[in-house]
Structure 1
Amino acid sequence: MEREKRLKMKKLETGHLQQFNQLLRYVFQVTKQDLQQVGWEEREITLAKLPVLEQADVLGWFDGDKLVSQVAVYPFQVNIFGKIFAMGGLTGVGTYPEYANLGLMHSLMGQALADMRERKQSISYLYPYSIPYYRRKGWEIISDKMTFEVKDFQLPKSRKMPGEVERVQIESPAVRAVYDQFARQSHAAMIRNDLAWEEYWRWDPEDMTAAVYYDEGRRPSGYVLYWISNEVFHIKEMVFTHEEARRGLWNFISAHVSMVTKVVGTTYTHEPLAFLLEDADIKETISPYYMARIVDLELFIAQYPFKPQAVERVWRFKLNDPLLSWNQGLFTIHVATDGSASLSRGGGPVEAELDIQTMTTMLLGYKRADYLAKIGRLNCNVDVVPLLDSLIGRQIPYFSDYF
């Protein structure tokens, strides 16, 4: 009890940088050897996290002057069905083991979510180090990462393209321009600000290269970020805004056939690469990637673009949220013919019951209402599933960032 009386929650400032970094290093088991493998020096990794304390909202529990538990929220934006939403990116979550089981992280998350609501960040993303833990806090899986391995003899044959590929530095404005265009047409993608780009590059090898596809009008329309080591072509990310750029980039990759034995990489589109290759017998694995949770349902629904309808639609439901009282209770959504909507409390007989995790993954299009109803995550009347199916877009979430 004496220890608990000493504990105080407060915001971290730049003067707490060393303690912030030490707690991160301890919790995520980052060793000096890990830093050296990606070319980092001790002082560099500490200074690299300075923008977090300068630009993010960082909360911590202190035992006297000692930081013992912390969570950070980045000010990000994401594209949800063509609308830009303010998103709170939760990261830096950690507590020293001797302070475990005191409810410190539970209270930090509750306060962080309340602060997100104040800042009009109606949705939060995070990378889960424990999916069950974050599910209990209201987050749910909303995107996948697919890894693939293509042997050298399976690489696609070169096709004549009107454009051309040029190798550039990864900081090239062309890379950012292509990604921004891609993100604004890709559901659930990050709209990267400077802080997002810094996080995106943080743990990459120093010999990362970018190859940009320029179309016939010299407009950048695709890129591949890659490095080559031990006769393996590693793809960090391939982005393209049209099919021509995709084929042009694969021409470039296939041109390395005499240098590499295989190509390995990741994709986040939920579309298997195998179908696009002549030799489709490649190795592919899929795994859950990012999680999200709606922070403020009322604000989220006011921003959310439902599909346009011939007539106004109404949906009444009961929502459960393990942390946030303002997301708990009986609600009614009114959807206008143009797809705009509003949320109100109460409103007649309940047609469905679900939790905030299910609501999040459904509205982001990762899982459809019919599937969620079938597995018991959405308890509803028989006419609710076709209603939701007509209201919610069908794009698969894309998210390739890491923070």
Structure 2
Amino acid sequence: MNKYLLGKDKFNQFYELYLYSFNRPDSPQRRSVLKERFDHAIVYGIMNEDKLGSGLFSIPFNVNFHDVDFKMNGIGDVMSAPEFGGRGGASSLMNQALEDMYNDGVTLSYLAPFSYGYYRQFGFEQVFDHTRITIKNFELPRVKNTQEGIVKRVKITELPDSVKRLYLEKNHLGGMSRADWWWNHMVDKHPEYQLALAYQANKLIGYLVYYNEGVNFVIHEWVNSNPLSLQLLLKFVTKHQSIFKNFIYESPDADFKADLLEDPNSAKLEVIPYMMARIVNLEDFLKRYPIQKMNLARINFKVEDSLAWNNHTWSLAINDGIVDLKVADELKPDLELTIQNLTKAMFGYRSLDSLVNYGLIKGDVEKISDLSSLFVQEKPQLIDYF
């Protein structure tokens, strides 16, 4: 029996530690939102006598990675009471959660770090960036009117199923395949959100999730299926020019696209390191990975990882699109790398060739380049937060 699993009867203690650890005020809404996560999560904790000393969530999700579905557990609300700190409680829970993920057939894990260095010791690596784009109201681009299509404005509580379907259609760069309960969680957590829905011939072609924050018009999520939806929703945004001073969009796409603006200097850009990822089951990730070439001469590479089942020399070959992968600890590797650097490369965040240039990978340069060409080159995108 797993000694770290918390029963559902421990919610009150988990909630109390959450409020104290993250300095949050109590409210019925905050309690209800955390209870939603608690009910859908695998909850871990260590008791300090009659009080909860450390705790965390491991929430089962699915992600779409270049049209391949992978199980992913999101780690959240990692916390320890100050009087219980320094005893390795959170570390014990993290290690147990990762072991349980592997045993449950989970391939990947994501988390939002309070410290990138702290979570790198558990094999996580930063692979998601956001770009925060800010434009003053007087510098908004001019958008032509169109007689085609319409925009409807509704509350987030009126979220239609067509929005969920459109999100899933456009989500394929490692983002979450949102279950209904997670959509409901977003609505409950952010009742201030609003929706702008773009339609063409009664079909949803795009949407905005947005809210106002004082003088700021803030776009949380923006999905388009064609140029018309972009035009309609951009026109909708600019119609707020007289109401708000600043227009802010935090995009999961790291590509700024400043060249598409009439004046590239009109927008202020901030690149924000976002969430981290971890390969929990390397064998499964490699065998079902969306490989970018049909053939690869055999390469032996050693992966350094704290997870014993990943910490091997792997022998990989591709023949007519068929992956041939096996453990080959007896062989001399062509290259050596950490699980963190392999995660960067496999997620398309930074290529193996680039990592060689920074001295982070050692080995046969030609073999490294061959292996690098196997991986996707487009950076991953993640909107959600947990």
TM-score for the superposition, normalised by structure 2: 0.93
* Residue in structure 2 matching 1:178, options 148, 159, 166: 166
Q: Are 1:139 and 2:127 counterparts?
A: no
* Residue in structure 2 matching 1:277, options 238, 261, 267: 261
Q: Contact 1:214–1:221 at 8 Å: present in 2 too? A: yes
Shift of 1:202: 5.3
Shift of 1:182: 1.4
Shift of 1:347: 6.2
Task: Tell me the C-alpha RMSD between the 2 structures.
Answer: 1.9
**d(CA) in 1 for partners of 2:327 and 2:169?**
35
Q: Contact 2:131–2:251 at 8 Å: present in 1 too? A: yes
**d(CA) in 2 for partners of 1:225 and 1:192?**
15
SS in 2 for 1:318: strand
SS in 1 for 2:354: helix
* Residue in structure 1 matching 2:16, options 10, 15, 22: 22
- The 3 A distance-change label for structure 1 pair 365 and 341 is farther
**d(CA) in 2 for partners of 1:308 and 1:337?**
9
Please name the residue that 2:34 is paired with. 49
- The 3 A distance-change label for structure 1 pair 361 and 200 is farther
Q: Are 1:333 and 2:326 counterparts?
A: no
Which amino acid counterpart does residue 25 of structure 2 have in structure 1?
T
Q: Are 1:371 and 2:354 counterparts?
A: yes
Q: Contact 1:332–1:347 at 8 Å: present in 2 too? A: no
Q: Contact 1:306–1:339 at 8 Å: present in 2 too? A: no
Q: Are 1:113 and 2:98 counterparts?
A: yes
Shift of 1:273: 4.3
Q: Contact 1:331–1:347 at 8 Å: present in 2 too? A: no
Please name the residue that 2:151 is paired with. 165
The residue correspondences of 1:165-244 to structure 2 (distance < 5 A) are 165-170=151-156, 171-183=159-171, 186-201=172-187, 203-204=189-190, 206-215=191-200, 217-244=201-228
- The 3 A distance-change label for structure 1 pair 218 and 313 is farther
**d(CA) in 2 for partners of 1:341 and 1:187?**
25
Shift of 1:312: 4.1
- CA deviations on 1:259-303 (whole Å, 9 max, x unpaired) are 222211211111114322212211110011010010111122122
Please name the residue that 1:129 is paired with. 114
Moved more, 77-86 or 58-67: 58-67
Q: Are 1:264 and 2:252 counterparts?
A: no
Q: Contact 1:199–1:402 at 8 Å: present in 2 too? A: no
Q: Contact 1:352–1:378 at 8 Å: present in 2 too? A: yes
- CA deviations on 1:384-403 (whole Å, 9 max, x unpaired) are 23212321112210101001
- The 3 A distance-change label for structure 1 pair 334 and 159 is same
Which amino acid counterpart does residue 292 of structure 1 have in structure 2?
A
Please name the residue that 2:381 is paired with. 398
Unaligned runs of 5+ in 1: 1-7, 33-41
Which amino acid counterpart does residue 204 of structure 2 have in structure 1?
P
Shift of 1:112: 0.3
* Residue in structure 2 matching 1:288, options 249, 254, 273: 273
**d(CA) in 1 for partners of 2:321 and 2:155?**
44
- The 3 A distance-change label for structure 1 pair 75 and 341 is farther
Equivalent residue pairs, number = 381
- The 3 A distance-change label for structure 1 pair 341 and 288 is farther
**d(CA) in 1 for partners of 2:319 and 2:199?**
42
Q: Contact 2:195–2:209 at 8 Å: present in 1 too? A: yes
* Residue in structure 2 matching 1:314, options 289, 293, 298: 298
Which amino acid counterpart does residue 237 of structure 2 have in structure 1?
I
Please name the residue that 2:45 is paired with. 60
- The 3 A distance-change label for structure 1 pair 313 and 65 is farther
Q: Contact 1:143–1:399 at 8 Å: present in 2 too? A: yes
Q: Contact 2:316–2:323 at 8 Å: present in 1 too? A: no
SS in 1 for 2:264: coil
| Percent identity over paired residues | 30
Please name the residue that 1:248 is paired with. 232
* Residue in structure 2 matching 1:357, options 302, 317, 340: 340
Q: Contact 2:76–2:111 at 8 Å: present in 1 too? A: yes
Q: Contact 1:59–1:71 at 8 Å: present in 2 too? A: yes
Unaligned runs of 5+ in 2: none
- CA deviations on 1:120-172 (whole Å, 9 max, x unpaired) are 11110000111110011110011101111111222121224432211123222
Q: Contact 1:304–1:340 at 8 Å: present in 2 too? A: no
SS in 2 for 1:77: strand
Which amino acid counterpart does residue 222 of structure 2 have in structure 1?
M
**d(CA) in 1 for partners of 2:77 and 2:260?**
38
Shift of 1:364: 0.5
Q: Contact 1:308–1:339 at 8 Å: present in 2 too? A: no
Q: Contact 2:128–2:381 at 8 Å: present in 1 too? A: yes
